[in-house]
Amino acid sequence: MFGPRIDGHNGIALVPSTLEHFKLHMSWMLQPETDRFWGPRFGEMTDEKQEERFKKTGEDQTQIQWSIAYQDEPVGFAGIFDIDWVRRDGESGIFIGRHDLYGRGIASEAIRLRTDFAWRELRLHRVHNWIAHANRGSRRANEKVGYTQMGLFRRSFFRSGEWYDEWLGEAYPHTFPDQR
């Protein structure tokens, strides 16, 4: 399902994704600047497939997906996936498709809004994620809202001629800065 609009600081908001946003994903995900640590390097990236993915995402009761808006333009997406409503645990993910906007704090604010929603609205007990250890920007943005390392999955995936370790992170309501 798609999450509701949540306005944050500095012109950054989480907004419900539209089909037009999903169609933008294709060009966002197939760039070397954005897919270094994440994203498919193969697969069916067509308008038809994106329509199918959009419909499935909207119907899926085990995920909350948003587009990230910056100054009212869609620039990426974020969400919590594979939510187990009994264990109250889910996996989080984020992707900024506009690499010309990296380093402006967009991910940090989007992750703060997403994590706050996980605790205050979804009442989750824990959120976890997998981040390439070398992906410092993503790790840092998550650590700032209370994610800490629970493990290191060595040589998790092979890309561009080298193996990457993955940092396994977890966050809880009591690790969220505003609630400490």
Ligand X SMILES: CC(C)(COP(=O)(O)OP(=O)(O)OC[C@H]1O[C@@H](n2cnc3c(N)ncnc32)[C@H](O)[C@@H]1OP(=O)(O)O)[C@@H](O)C(=O)NCCC(=O)NCCS
Residues that bind ligand X (CB under 6 A): 34, 37-38, 76, 94-96, 102-108, 131, 135-138, 140-141
Phi, psi of 89 (to 5 degrees): -130, 145
Taking phi over 0 as left and psi of -120 to 50 as alpha, with beta for the rest, 11 belongs to left
Least distance from ligand X to the Cβ atom of residue 149, Å: 14
Residue 33 or 51: the one with the smaller Cβ distance to ligand X is 33
Residue 3 or 169: the one with the smaller Cβ distance to ligand X is 169
Residue 104 or 128: the one with the smaller Cβ distance to ligand X is 104
Our measurement of the distance from residue 126's CA atom to the centroid of its chain's CA atoms, rounded to an integer in Å, reads: 15
Report the residue closest to ligand X, judged by CB.
137
Q: How far apart are CA 114 and CA 65, in angstroms?
A: 10
Residue 31 or 46: the one with the smaller Cβ distance to ligand X is 31
Q: Enumerate residues 6+ apart whose C-beta is below 8 A from 109.
A: 8, 9, 10, 12
CA distances for 152 relative to 35, 125, 140, 164, angstroms: 21, 22, 16, 11
Least distance from ligand X to the Cβ atom of residue 16, Å: 20
Least distance from ligand X to the Cβ atom of residue 152, Å: 14
Least distance from ligand X to the Cβ atom of residue 8, Å: 12
